[in-house]
Chains A and B, each alone.
Chain A
Amino acid sequence: NAGVTQTPKFQVLKTGQSMTLQCAQDMNHEYMSWYRQDPGMGLRLIHYSVGAGITDQGEVPNGYNVSRSTTEDFPLRLLSAAPSQTSVYFCASNTKRGTDTQYFGPGTRLTVL
């Protein structure tokens, strides 16, 4: 199993550009989430999904869109990048059964100029 994979690892955008951060998991987990982590801070939840076709907002959803057309994939779209979105983005997945442990991807480091 590859676990949770994220692409790209690094990205530089100009203000106003749009882009999609990719996240995929091969563990057949129902739940997937996106977090951002600003320097020296903990993780904050952006959006999450409890299954294909179902998404909801987290703590800091503004400026981001998500969709979940398959169990495996959960892309995060930045509609019009702003410098305030400079951060490290982590995707996570977990099953709704058992211990509910989250598995995190390696992260995408995004800089918006």
Chain B
Amino acid sequence: DSGVTQTPKHLITATGQRVTLRCSPRSGDLSVYWYQQSLDQGLQFLIHYYNGEERAKGNILERFSAQQFPDLHSELNLSSLELGDSALYFCASSVDYADEQFFGPGTRLTVL
């Protein structure tokens, strides 16, 4: 158990819909990262937040957005969902930028 929690574990929805994935980092960790893992693309870095502020963006689509709240939990919002958005979404946290990242168990999103 990494100490990072993600909810829900599984999510099944339809194309065009909007979903919110939630991540609670380890206690004391200020950085939260979001990754997407699909069969054809591998593990893709999406976005990084540090203490409530966006620090870096990776391959995140404009239909996706994220935020980190004052209590340091983070949410990833996915809208206008397409079949290709079906993937595992991982959240990771670390104390600071260069520290080891602890990954959550992931949320499996299926878009039908």
User: Do A and B belong to a common assembly?
Assistant: no
Listed in ascending order, the chain B residues whose CB lies under 8 Å from chain A are none
Listed in ascending order, the chain A residues whose CB lies under 8 Å from chain B are none
